[in-house]
Amino acid sequence: MKCKICGRRTESELCKLHEEARRNLLKNYEAWKRSMSVSWEEYLREIQRNPFAGVWAKEVAQHLLVSGSANEQEGPAKDTEMNK
């Protein structure tokens, strides 16, 4: 199987590098939500524009927006649970 973002060989949807970025995105959403009151989709768009966000984090944000996982109900809630 290939990473949906970079094409690296992987056993899941994303390679290890993008998976780590995705985990960071999920982990930090709470802090954004608390301090900026942003929705998941707004958060992903903010990350895409942010100059300090890493390139893989931006790619994952773009991927989530395009693939429809930007919906708050489907996106972080489910993944955060998985993460736990």
Partner 1 sequence: MEGKTVLILCEKPTAAQRVAKALDVKGNPQKREIEGIPHYIADRDGKRLVVVAALGHLYTVAPSVKDRNVFPVFGFQWVPRYEVERDAKETQTWIDAVSKLANEAQEYILATDYDVEGATLGYTILRYACGDKEKEAKRMKFSTLTTGELEKSYRELSDHIEFPTVEAGICRHFLDGMYGINLSRAMTVAAKQWSGRYAVLSTGRVQGPTLKFLVSREKRISSFVPTPYWGIRARVEINGSVYEVEYERDVMESRDEAQAVVNECNGKKGKITEIEVRKFLQNPPVPFDLGSLQTEAYSLFRYTPRRTADIAERLYLDALISYPRTSSQKLPPIIGYRAILESLSREPKYGRLAPELLRRRDLVPREGKKQDPAHPSIYPTGNLPERSLSEPERRLWDLVVRRFMAVFGEPAVKQGVKASITVNGHRFFIRGRQTLKEGWIVFYRPFMRAEEIVLPPLKEGREIEFKEVLREDKFTKPPPRYNPSSLLRKMEDEGIGTKATRAGIIDTLYNRGYVSGERAVVSELGLDVIDILNRYCPEVISVEFTRELEESMERIQSGNEKRENVLSKAVTRLTPVLEELKKHEDTVGQDLSEAVRKARMQQRIVGDCPVCGTGKLMILFSRRTGKRFIGCTSFFKGICKASYPLPQKGSVKPAERSCRTCGSPMIRFKMQGKRPWTFCINPSCPSKEGRR
> Should residue 49 be labelled a site residue for partner 1 when binding is judged by CB under 8 A?
no
How far apart (Å, rounded) are the C-alpha atoms in residues 76 and 82?
A: 9
> Should residue 11 be labelled a site residue for partner 1 when binding is judged by CB under 8 A?
no
Closest CB to partner 1 among 51 and 68?
A: 51
- Quick one: which segment of 31-39, 67-75, 76-84 binds partner 1 (CB under 8 A)? 31-39
Quote the tokens at residue 75.
């996106």
> Should residue 32 be labelled a site residue for partner 1 when binding is judged by CB under 8 A?
yes
CB atoms within 10 A of CB 68: 9
Among 25, 27, 15, 34, which Cα is nearest to 65's?
25
DSSP-assigned beta bridge partners for residue 2: 9
For partner 1, the binding residues (CB under 8 A) are 8-9, 16-18, 20-21, 24-25, 27-28, 31-32, 34-36, 47, 50, 52-57
